[in-house]
Structures are given as C-alpha cells and as structure tokens.
Amino acid sequence: MLDEPTLKRVAESVTPRDELKQKMKKSVMSRIKPQNLLSVVYSATPSSDSKLRLKDRIMLIIRTPLGSRLGDLSRTTNLPQKTFERLRQRILASLEPIALPAVSSAVRWALSFAVFIVLLRAMPLVFLAPAIQANLSVQLIPHGADVSVFVGGIWRNVRSPEILRDPVMIRTGDSSATIILNDDGVVRLKADTTLKLHNTTDNSIVTSAGPTATLVRGSIWTLGLLSPVQESLTIETSQGRLALNSGSASVEQGDRQVKVSVYDLGATFQQGTQTAFIVSGEQMSAREKQPLLVKNLPAASFSNEWVTGNLSQDAAHRTEIAKMLQERRQQMAGILPTSFLYPAKRIAEEVDVLFTLTTDGRTEKRIQQADTRLSEALALLKEGQNSEATMPMTEYRDSLLAMAGGTGDNLVKFLIKKQIAEASSTLNSSESPQVATELLKDAVVQISGAIPDTALKAKDIEGYVLVDKLAEINRSLEARNLTGGLIAYAEVRPYLKEVLDEKTGAHPLLQKEARALLTFTDALIQAAMKAGSPDPIAEAVQADIAQYLPDEPDQVLVSEEALNNRVKEMVRRIFVFKAPRSRYNQLLVEMGKLKGDPNRGTLLRRLYRELPENGVGGYVLTEIKNLGDELKGGN
C-alpha cells in the first residue's frame, strides 16, 4: 500500500487549479445558452417533406394486408418455402382476434375481495391445531365363547370384540367379558353374570340421570377413571346404587344381599336414606331393611386370583389412558407462546371466532380457545419453562371466569362444566408437573365457584390432590424408596390438618380415602425400618401420621354373665310385642345394634338358642351364616 505522503502528492497532481476550473465553467455555460439549445432542437426536427414521406410509408404498411407483407418478406429472405409457410401460419394464428367478455372494475374488486376473504378464512386451518377426539367408544370384549347379548328378543353369541352404541343386556356363562366405557372406566364381568348396560355415552360430553349399568346377578369388577367433578359411574343393584369416580371395586349381587369390596381409592353406596363411604381395604354388605355394614377386608382377599388379575389390568389401563390424554394435550397445544409464529396463531383464533355466525358457536370457540391456553401451559411446564407458562394459565382462568361470572345460560354452564372436568382429569395424571397441579387446582376452584350449581369446595380439590399424592408416596415406599417417600410426605404434610378436619375439611369420602392411605403409609414405613437401620426422620413421620389414623375398634372383654344379660334383655324387648310382624321389626332393630360389636358372633349364637326356630329364630340363623361369609372375605 502507498504511504500517506505519496497519496497527498497524487491528490495534488490530479486536482485542477482554480484558473482551470473557471475556464471549464465558462465553456459549459456557453454551450447551455437558450439560443444554442434551440439550434440543437431545430437541427434534430425533420422537415415537412420528410414528415409527409414518413407518414405515407407508415400508412402503406398499415393498409397493406398482412399476407402481402409476409409475401414481400419471403422475397427478401432466403428461408425455404415450407419453413416460411409454417412461420406464416403461426404468425397469422397468433394475430387472430379472440372474443373476451368485458370485465368491469367493480367486478375485479369483488373478485379480489373474495380471494382475500378465502385466504383470511384459511388462516385457522394453517395456524390452529385440529380438535382432537378421544377415539374411544363403548366396547364389549369377550374372553371365551360363552358370552352373549340380548338383541331383538333373542340372545346372540359374541365371539369377537364389538362396539356397543345402544343399551344392551350382557350375559356370561362359563366365560368372562370386559366392557370399556370410552375413557371413563372399565367393567369386567365374572363368569355366570348378567349385566344390563344403560349408558353408552361419554360422561365428559353427555350427563345422564340414570345409572351406568344394572347388575342383575353375579359379580363384576369396576374401574373408574373420572375426575371428582364429573358424573360418577353408577352401578344399580337390588339393594342400592354404587357410585364410583376413580378407584377399583368388586360388586357381588346375591339373592338377598349385595357385597361391595373396594381395593383402590373409594366408592359411595346409597340405600334409601343410608349412605356408606367405602375405601380401599373395606367391604360393605347391604341387605333389605338393615343398616349398611362396612368392615375391613380379610388379608387373604388381596391374594385372590380374581382380585390380583384385575388390579394388574387396572394399572395397565390407567397407564394407557394417561398416555393417551398426554398425547392429546400435546397435539392440542400446537404453536407455543415461545414461538415467533404465536402472534399469527392468536390472529387466526380471532378470525375463527369472527367467521362463526351463531352466539352458541362463538361461545364454544372461546371455551375451546381457553382449553388451548391450558394445553399450552402444560406443554411449557413439561419443558421446564415455568415463568412462560404462567401467562397462558392465567389467561385460561380469566377467560373462563369472564364467561362463567353471573351467567344464566345453560349451554355456557354445561360447556364450562365439561371444561372443568377435562382440566381436572389432568390433576390425576402422573405426568403432570407439581407446579401444573397447583396452578390448575387454583384455577378449577375459582372457575367452579363462579357457577352457582357447579361450585366445588376448595378443600375437595385439595383432598383429591392429597389422595393422589398419598398414593404416589405409597408406590414409592413399595419400591423401597424410603427417602423419596419421606420427602414427598414433607410436601403434603401442610395440607393434612385442613383437609382431614371433620367439620371444615374435604368430602367425607375423600377424608376416609386419605386416612386409609395414611394407614398403609405407616405400615410401609414400619416395614422399611425393620428391614434397615432405625431412621429418626422416619420415626418422626410415623409420629406425625399417627394423629390422622382412623381409630381402632376397642376390644372389650365381657364376662359370661354380662353376655347372658344382654341376650335376655334383647329377648325381652322382642317379646314385648304380641304381633309377629312387630317382633320381626324389633329383631331388625336389635340386629342393627350388633353391627360392629366385637362380641357379635357370640351374642347371635346365644340369641338363636333363646328364640324359637320356626319364628324369628330362623332369621338369626341366617344372620349367623352371613357373618361367617363376611369373616371369610365373601369372594
């Protein structure tokens, strides 16, 4: 490169001097004088004769036919005759006039606007995720050749899985069968069972006042996969109705008695004005005109082949449904708020609502968009982007609150109920992060509280979450992860006192479920401590759990004289009445008083010896047999 002094010398040598600049300026100015410019114009303008000759030549060319001009062209070129003819035909064909309809500017504007509207309407199809359906239906799966359905007045044999769209009666002989109730639950029929299926709709879409099914005879196993705000699966029996949202229960319909055994979570049994809350590890017996009896299941019942097989199938089915729900949520989320295309997605949502003409349709679109916000929040939380997930979760809550607040529209209330049910099902998924569970719980409570006939107590939602977390703790302890179980217990400990308060706590069934799970937790911690070295933290957790465990029945030692006096007093109260019917009614009262008595068996046997066998004594004998069945487990 040149140095700076050299560059300066070059610049000075190429820069003109001032006198040279002035000389060049004068020369340029002299050439652009008006008279000089006019002389240039005049010299370039053709004369009148030249103009006439040019005009005549142009007019001659215009007036001469094209064919003649092409002929003249052929004489001046050296092209072969065939080539020239082909060229001539092509030129003439291209110059042939074509008739086209005249299009006014107004029509062109209308067409342009129509194209714009079509493109605008297509935006939701491009940027919005399509609605995802469950792709499940009510299915009957036979396990053997002896399964039949009652159709058209005859029993038809079922040998392969089939979809059930209408209410139907199902009967098993030597085989068993499974009924898949959409993604709401499962009913498995034991051999020699008859069941009438009433409801084949999805509980999250259509609610029904009637029962899901009626157990005519035999035994069934029911698995519920519903959230607490959805309509329960209900099984009608001869002695009452069983309601189940989540959990596993076995129902046995006898000639005069119904037995319900719960092996996971809890269920509710209603008989007239009586209500029994049954939780895992308990069995309820129901007979006509007798109090409902709930007692612990014998330990041997959990090793029963029917029970163990169904529990393993329940675990597999839960995993499959949870995976399906998670995939459905991911597809519904679509473009996330962290994407640069997200503004286009929101514009497409507004366009979608704009082109929906009916009020009901727009309401459905708004609730669907709120559900999309929930899916976006859960997707972000799953990716660990907690701060980014707060915005869509808040928008989900606020949008539903705005629609629910003070509304009297039944459609709006129904759609919001459905949305709350779908959101609550996410609480039951083990895939949901802890942060998502807390945010979603608060949102569900606030939204449900805004609808008068859908209001949920905050404690009920907390109780539902608590039961789910206690079940996770027990699974961790069963896997011999004592440290993980103790850490998880520390997280749920602050909620125990409020949720398990008998007056202001959660629903009684949820409280009973939680206490039963805590009993199991205490036993698992005790077993882990026996297998290893003493752990002061585990001992402290056991001491904390002890205050929430259900009371054990007192074992009272009664003398022979006291037992005989009790029997004599019962006999006296029975025979105070003269009419047989009145004596029978009083005997029912006495039987009710014996429910749960640790000396019930002894008192029944002595009472039977004191009563005539051909009268009310026969009923006491039946009660003794029933007690024996209960002690054996009833399965």
Closest CA to 392 of 440, 348, 424, 349: 440
* Per-residue confidence (pLDDT) for residue 436, from 0 to 100: 59
* Per-residue confidence (pLDDT) for residue 25, from 0 to 100: 74
What pLDDT digit, counting tens, does each position of 227-266 carry? Answer: 776 778 999 999 999 999 888 999 999 888 899 999 988 8
Per-residue DSSP letter, 47: P
Q: Which two tokens stand for residue 108?
A: 């062109």
* Per-residue confidence (pLDDT) for residue 269, from 0 to 100: 93
Strands (E), 203-302: 213-225, 233-237, 240-244, 246-253, 257-271, 274-279, 282-287, 293-296
Q: How far is CA 635 from CA 4, 220, 288, in A?
A: 107, 12, 21
* CA 349/CA 373 separation, integer angstroms: 12
Place of tokens 């179980």: 485
Looking from the CA of 4 toward its CB, the CA atoms found within 13 Å total: 0
How does strand 240-244 pair with strand 257-271?
antiparallel
Per-residue DSSP letter, 46: P
What pLDDT digit, counting tens, does each position of 323-348 carry? Answer: 777 777 777 788 888 888 888 888 88
Closest CA to 431 of 376, 495, 374, 378: 378
* Per-residue confidence (pLDDT) for residue 172, from 0 to 100: 94
* Per-residue confidence (pLDDT) for residue 430, from 0 to 100: 47
Give the distance between the most distant pair of CA atoms in the chain. Answer: 156
Q: Which two tokens stand for residue 498?
A: 């409020």
Q: Which two tokens stand for residue 582?
A: 């009145």
- Torsion angle of the four alpha carbons 257, 258, 263, 267, in this order, in degrees rounded to the nearest 10: -140
* Per-residue confidence (pLDDT) for residue 190, from 0 to 100: 94
| SS3 per residue for 299-322 | HHHHHCHHHHHHHHHHHHHHHHHH
Q: Which two tokens stand for residue 176?
A: 């068993």
The torsion angles phi and psi of 192, rounded to 5 degrees, stand at: 60, 50
Per-residue DSSP letter, 553: P
What is the SS3 assignment for 284?
strand
Q: How far is CA 120 from CA 114, 123, 332, 333, 366, in A?
A: 10, 5, 22, 22, 19
* CA 82/CA 250 separation, integer angstroms: 98
* Per-residue confidence (pLDDT) for residue 405, from 0 to 100: 64
Regions of the chain with pLDDT less than 70: 1-3, 7, 10-11, 14, 30-45, 60-79, 95-109, 113, 116-136, 202-209, 229, 299, 405-410, 424-442, 445-446, 448-458, 533, 551-560, 596, 613-616, 627-635
What pLDDT digit, counting tens, does each position of 398-428 carry? Answer: 888 777 765 556 677 777 777 777 776 665 5
- Torsion angle of the four alpha carbons 558, 560, 563, 565, in this order, in degrees rounded to the nearest 10: -130
Place of tokens 């009637």: 210
